[in-house]
Chain A
Protein backbone atom coordinates (compact mmCIF):
# COMPACT_ATOMS: atom_id res chain seq x y z
CA UNK A 1 0.00 0.00 0.00
CA UNK A 2 2.75 2.41 0.98
CA UNK A 3 4.54 1.59 -2.25
CA UNK A 4 1.56 2.60 -4.36
CA UNK A 5 1.14 5.82 -2.39
CA UNK A 6 4.84 6.56 -2.71
CA UNK A 7 4.94 5.99 -6.47
CA UNK A 8 1.91 8.15 -7.19
CA UNK A 9 3.03 10.96 -4.87
CA UNK A 10 6.60 10.83 -6.17
CA UNK A 11 5.46 11.13 -9.78
CA UNK A 12 3.23 14.09 -8.91
CA UNK A 13 6.06 15.71 -6.95
CA UNK A 14 8.66 15.47 -9.69
CA UNK A 15 6.33 16.44 -12.53
CA UNK A 16 4.92 19.46 -10.74
CA UNK A 17 8.40 20.50 -9.58
CA UNK A 18 9.44 20.54 -13.23
CA UNK A 19 6.27 22.50 -13.88
CA UNK A 20 7.42 25.14 -11.38
CA UNK A 21 10.67 25.78 -13.20
CA UNK A 22 9.34 25.38 -16.74
CA UNK A 23 6.11 27.39 -16.61
CA UNK A 24 6.34 30.71 -18.42
CA UNK A 25 3.56 32.34 -16.44
CA UNK A 26 4.44 32.91 -12.74
CA UNK A 27 0.84 32.08 -11.74
CA UNK A 28 1.23 28.62 -13.25
CA UNK A 29 4.49 28.24 -11.34
CA UNK A 30 2.69 29.05 -8.09
CA UNK A 31 -0.06 26.52 -8.78
CA UNK A 32 2.50 23.86 -9.65
CA UNK A 33 4.33 24.65 -6.41
CA UNK A 34 1.08 24.05 -4.56
CA UNK A 35 0.71 20.64 -6.24
CA UNK A 36 4.27 19.77 -5.20
CA UNK A 37 3.58 20.76 -1.61
CA UNK A 38 0.41 18.66 -1.47
CA UNK A 39 2.26 15.63 -2.83
CA UNK A 40 4.97 16.10 -0.21
CA UNK A 41 2.29 16.32 2.47
CA UNK A 42 1.02 12.95 1.23
CA UNK A 43 4.55 11.57 1.58
CA UNK A 44 4.67 12.95 5.16
CA UNK A 45 1.44 11.04 5.95
CA UNK A 46 2.94 7.91 4.44
CA UNK A 47 5.81 8.28 6.90
CA UNK A 48 3.57 8.72 9.97
CA UNK A 49 4.25 12.45 10.27
CA UNK A 50 0.59 13.40 10.39
CA UNK A 51 1.00 16.65 12.27
CA UNK A 52 3.69 17.86 9.87
CA UNK A 53 1.45 17.02 6.91
CA UNK A 54 -1.28 19.20 8.38
CA UNK A 55 1.17 22.00 9.10
CA UNK A 56 2.62 21.66 5.61
CA UNK A 57 -0.79 22.23 4.05
CA UNK A 58 -1.84 24.99 6.44
CA UNK A 59 1.41 26.97 6.44
CA UNK A 60 2.67 26.34 2.92
CA UNK A 61 -0.46 25.94 0.83
CA UNK A 62 -2.52 28.19 3.05
CA UNK A 63 -0.12 31.01 3.77
CA UNK A 64 3.06 30.98 1.71
CA UNK A 65 1.52 30.08 -1.63
CA UNK A 66 -1.24 32.63 -1.12
CA UNK A 67 1.44 35.21 -0.33
CA UNK A 68 3.22 34.31 -3.57
CA UNK A 69 -0.05 34.66 -5.48
CA UNK A 70 -0.69 38.05 -3.86
CA UNK A 71 2.73 39.32 -4.93
CA UNK A 72 2.37 37.93 -8.46
CA UNK A 73 -0.97 39.68 -8.83
CA UNK A 74 0.36 42.85 -7.21
CA UNK A 75 3.33 43.11 -9.54
CA UNK A 76 1.35 42.09 -12.60
CA UNK A 77 1.43 38.67 -14.18
CA UNK A 78 3.08 39.93 -17.35
CA UNK A 79 6.59 39.59 -15.98
CA UNK A 80 7.61 38.26 -19.35
CA UNK A 81 10.96 36.58 -19.13
CA UNK A 82 13.10 36.47 -22.22
CA UNK A 83 14.98 33.20 -22.02
CA UNK A 84 17.08 34.15 -25.04
CA UNK A 85 18.91 36.72 -22.96
CA UNK A 86 21.89 35.07 -21.36
CA UNK A 87 23.77 37.47 -19.11
CA UNK A 88 26.65 35.11 -18.41
CA UNK A 89 27.78 33.27 -21.51
CA UNK A 90 27.17 29.52 -21.42
CA UNK A 91 25.71 29.67 -17.93
CA UNK A 92 22.55 27.68 -18.63
CA UNK A 93 24.12 24.61 -20.28
CA UNK A 94 26.78 24.63 -17.59
CA UNK A 95 24.15 24.84 -14.84
CA UNK A 96 22.09 22.01 -16.34
CA UNK A 97 25.14 19.81 -16.78
CA UNK A 98 26.49 20.42 -13.28
CA UNK A 99 23.10 19.89 -11.64
CA UNK A 100 22.37 16.65 -13.49
CA UNK A 101 25.86 15.34 -12.74
CA UNK A 102 25.53 16.17 -9.03
CA UNK A 103 22.08 14.60 -8.85
CA UNK A 104 23.24 11.37 -10.48
CA UNK A 105 26.25 11.24 -8.15
CA UNK A 106 24.02 11.80 -5.09
CA UNK A 107 21.58 9.08 -6.14
CA UNK A 108 24.43 6.64 -6.71
CA UNK A 109 25.87 7.47 -3.29
CA UNK A 110 22.50 6.87 -1.63
CA UNK A 111 22.12 3.52 -3.38
CA UNK A 112 25.63 2.43 -2.42
CA UNK A 113 25.20 3.60 1.19
CA UNK A 114 21.83 1.85 1.49
CA UNK A 115 23.09 -1.43 0.09
CA UNK A 116 26.09 -2.02 2.35
CA UNK A 117 25.11 -0.72 5.79
CA UNK A 118 22.98 -2.56 8.28
CA UNK A 119 20.33 -0.68 10.17
CA UNK A 120 22.01 1.78 12.57
CA UNK A 121 21.23 1.91 16.23
CA UNK A 122 18.19 3.91 17.16
CA UNK A 123 18.46 7.02 19.25
CA UNK A 124 17.36 7.51 22.84
CA UNK A 125 13.88 8.58 21.91
CA UNK A 126 13.12 5.36 20.07
CA UNK A 127 11.47 4.04 23.20
CA UNK A 128 8.98 6.88 23.31
CA UNK A 129 7.57 6.26 19.88
CA UNK A 130 7.39 2.53 20.35
CA UNK A 131 5.89 2.56 23.85
CA UNK A 132 2.90 4.63 22.95
CA UNK A 133 2.62 2.97 19.57
CA UNK A 134 2.54 6.15 17.55
CA UNK A 135 4.67 9.09 16.51
CA UNK A 136 1.76 11.32 17.31
CA UNK A 137 1.31 14.96 18.05
CA UNK A 138 1.64 14.49 21.80
CA UNK A 139 5.17 13.12 21.54
CA UNK A 140 6.20 15.72 18.99
CA UNK A 141 4.87 18.44 21.26
CA UNK A 142 6.75 16.99 24.23
CA UNK A 143 10.00 16.96 22.26
CA UNK A 144 9.54 20.52 21.02
CA UNK A 145 8.71 21.93 24.44
CA UNK A 146 11.44 20.08 26.31
CA UNK A 147 14.50 19.34 24.18
CA UNK A 148 14.03 22.11 21.65
CA UNK A 149 12.40 24.77 23.79
CA UNK A 150 15.15 27.34 23.18
CA UNK A 151 14.96 26.83 19.44
CA UNK A 152 11.23 27.32 19.77
CA UNK A 153 11.67 30.62 21.60
CA UNK A 154 14.21 31.84 19.06
CA UNK A 155 11.81 30.95 16.26
CA UNK A 156 9.18 33.13 17.92
CA UNK A 157 11.63 36.05 18.00
CA UNK A 158 12.56 35.40 14.36
CA UNK A 159 8.92 35.58 13.26
CA UNK A 160 8.46 38.88 15.08
CA UNK A 161 11.57 40.29 13.42
CA UNK A 162 10.33 39.04 10.06
CA UNK A 163 6.97 40.76 10.42
CA UNK A 164 8.56 44.04 11.51
CA UNK A 165 11.06 43.83 8.66
CA UNK A 166 8.33 43.23 6.09
CA UNK A 167 6.32 46.18 7.33
CA UNK A 168 9.36 48.47 7.31
CA UNK A 169 10.46 47.37 3.83
CA UNK A 170 7.13 47.83 2.11
CA UNK A 171 6.07 51.02 3.86
CA UNK A 172 5.75 53.94 1.50
CA UNK A 173 7.50 56.98 2.98
CA UNK A 174 5.25 60.01 3.13
CA UNK A 175 6.29 62.93 0.96
CA UNK A 176 7.02 65.15 3.95
CA UNK A 177 9.33 62.56 5.52
CA UNK A 178 11.22 62.14 2.25
CA UNK A 179 11.87 65.88 2.10
CA UNK A 180 13.02 65.88 5.72
CA UNK A 181 15.42 63.01 4.98
CA UNK A 182 16.82 64.88 2.00
CA UNK A 183 17.32 67.95 4.13
CA UNK A 184 19.05 65.87 6.82
CA UNK A 185 21.36 64.26 4.28
CA UNK A 186 22.29 67.59 2.75
CA UNK A 187 22.87 68.99 6.21
CA UNK A 188 25.19 66.09 6.98
CA UNK A 189 27.16 66.64 3.80
CA UNK A 190 27.64 70.30 4.55
Chain B
Protein backbone atom coordinates (compact mmCIF):
# COMPACT_ATOMS: atom_id res chain seq x y z
CA UNK B 1 0.00 0.00 0.00
CA UNK B 2 1.51 3.27 -1.03
CA UNK B 3 1.21 6.44 0.97
CA UNK B 4 -0.95 7.94 -1.79
CA UNK B 5 -3.77 5.59 -0.77
CA UNK B 6 -3.98 7.15 2.69
CA UNK B 7 -6.70 9.78 2.95
CA UNK B 8 -5.68 13.30 3.89
CA UNK B 9 -6.98 14.29 7.30
CA UNK B 10 -7.46 17.93 8.35
CA UNK B 11 -4.64 17.62 10.87
CA UNK B 12 -2.16 17.27 8.00
CA UNK B 13 -3.16 20.71 6.79
CA UNK B 14 -2.95 22.07 10.33
CA UNK B 15 0.54 20.65 10.81
CA UNK B 16 1.68 22.12 7.49
CA UNK B 17 0.22 25.45 8.53
CA UNK B 18 2.02 25.28 11.87
CA UNK B 19 5.31 24.56 10.14
CA UNK B 20 4.74 27.44 7.72
CA UNK B 21 3.92 29.82 10.58
CA UNK B 22 7.07 28.77 12.43
CA UNK B 23 9.19 29.42 9.36
CA UNK B 24 7.65 32.88 9.18
CA UNK B 25 8.38 33.60 12.85
CA UNK B 26 11.93 32.32 12.45
CA UNK B 27 12.56 34.58 9.48
CA UNK B 28 11.08 37.57 11.27
CA UNK B 29 13.35 37.00 14.28
CA UNK B 30 16.55 36.19 12.39
CA UNK B 31 16.58 38.44 9.34
CA UNK B 32 17.40 42.14 9.54
CA UNK B 33 16.37 43.31 6.10
CA UNK B 34 12.98 45.02 6.60
CA UNK B 35 11.71 43.81 3.20
CA UNK B 36 12.39 40.17 4.03
CA UNK B 37 10.77 40.69 7.42
CA UNK B 38 7.62 41.86 5.65
CA UNK B 39 7.67 38.74 3.50
CA UNK B 40 7.86 36.63 6.64
CA UNK B 41 4.73 38.38 7.94
CA UNK B 42 3.04 37.39 4.68
CA UNK B 43 4.11 33.79 5.27
CA UNK B 44 2.52 33.82 8.71
CA UNK B 45 -0.71 35.32 7.37
CA UNK B 46 -0.85 32.62 4.71
CA UNK B 47 -0.36 29.91 7.31
CA UNK B 48 -3.35 31.28 9.20
CA UNK B 49 -5.38 31.43 5.99
CA UNK B 50 -4.68 27.77 5.40
CA UNK B 51 -5.96 26.99 8.89
CA UNK B 52 -9.13 29.00 8.24
CA UNK B 53 -9.85 27.12 5.02
CA UNK B 54 -9.17 23.77 6.66
CA UNK B 55 -11.61 24.45 9.48
CA UNK B 56 -14.16 25.90 7.05
CA UNK B 57 -14.24 22.57 5.27
CA UNK B 58 -14.08 20.53 8.45
CA UNK B 59 -17.08 22.26 10.01
CA UNK B 60 -18.91 22.83 6.73
CA UNK B 61 -19.16 26.52 7.64
CA UNK B 62 -18.34 29.19 5.09
CA UNK B 63 -17.44 31.74 7.77
CA UNK B 64 -13.85 30.50 7.62
CA UNK B 65 -13.60 31.25 3.93
CA UNK B 66 -15.12 34.70 4.45
CA UNK B 67 -12.48 35.34 7.14
CA UNK B 68 -9.75 34.41 4.67
CA UNK B 69 -11.05 37.04 2.27
CA UNK B 70 -10.89 39.68 5.01
CA UNK B 71 -7.40 38.59 6.07
CA UNK B 72 -6.29 38.90 2.45
CA UNK B 73 -7.61 42.45 2.27
CA UNK B 74 -6.02 43.48 5.55
CA UNK B 75 -2.75 41.95 4.38
CA UNK B 76 -2.90 43.99 1.20
CA UNK B 77 -3.52 47.21 3.14
CA UNK B 78 -0.76 46.34 5.60
CA UNK B 79 1.75 45.75 2.81
CA UNK B 80 0.85 49.00 1.09
CA UNK B 81 1.29 51.10 4.24
CA UNK B 82 4.34 49.15 5.42
CA UNK B 83 6.18 49.47 2.14
CA UNK B 84 5.31 53.18 2.00
CA UNK B 85 6.90 53.67 5.43
CA UNK B 86 9.89 51.62 4.31
CA UNK B 87 10.37 53.66 1.15
CA UNK B 88 10.21 56.95 3.00
CA UNK B 89 12.64 55.72 5.70
CA UNK B 90 15.14 54.23 3.26
CA UNK B 91 15.02 57.38 1.16
CA UNK B 92 16.56 59.24 4.09
CA UNK B 93 18.96 56.48 5.15
CA UNK B 94 19.88 54.14 2.30
CA UNK B 95 20.79 50.62 3.33
CA UNK B 96 19.19 50.83 6.76
CA UNK B 97 18.39 47.58 8.50
CA UNK B 98 15.75 47.01 11.13
CA UNK B 99 18.27 47.80 13.87
CA UNK B 100 19.10 51.21 12.45
CA UNK B 101 15.49 52.32 12.72
CA UNK B 102 14.94 51.14 16.27
CA UNK B 103 14.09 54.58 17.64
CA UNK B 104 10.96 56.46 16.73
CA UNK B 105 12.57 59.87 16.97
CA UNK B 106 13.20 61.62 13.70
A residues whose Cβ falls under 8 Å from a Cβ of B: 2-4, 6-7, 10, 13-14, 17-18, 20-21, 26, 29-30, 33, 36-37, 40, 43-44, 46-49, 51-52, 55-56, 59-60, 63-64, 67-68, 71-72, 74-76, 79-81, 85, 87, 91-92, 95-96, 99-100, 102-103, 106-107, 110-111, 113-114, 120, 122-126, 128-130, 135, 139-140, 143-144, 147-148, 151-152, 155, 158-159, 161-163, 165-166, 169-170
Contact = CB atoms under 8 A, between A and B. Distances in A.
B101 interface: no
5 contacts: A43-B16, A52-B69, A75-B87, A135-B56, A158-B77
Contacts of B33: 26, 79, 81
A67 B83 contact: yes
A143 B66 contact: yes
B43 A17 contact: yes
A81 B5 CA distance: 45
B85 A169 contact: yes
B74 to A, nearest CB: 7
B50 A21 contact: no
Given A63-B76, A67-B83, A81-B32, A37 B6 contact: no
A55 B68 CA distance: 10
Given A33-B42, A165-B81, A165-B84, A21 B36 contact: yes
Contacts of B31: 21, 81
Interface in B11-69: 11-16, 18-27, 29-33, 35-36, 38-40, 42-43, 46, 49-50, 53-54, 56-57, 59-63, 65-66, 68-69
A2 B26 contact: no
A92 B79 contact: no
Contact of A110 (B18, B24, B46, B57): B18
A37 B88 CA distance: 27
Given A47-B57, A64-B42, 11 more contacts: A3-B7, A6-B13, A40-B50, A49-B65, A52-B69, A80-B95, A106-B22, A125-B60, A140-B62, A151-B66, A158-B73
B62 A166 contact: no
Contacts of A76: 94
B33 to A, nearest CB: 5
Contacts of B36: 20-21, 26, 29, 81
B73 A21 contact: no
A40 B40 CA distance: 15
A6 to B, nearest CB: 5
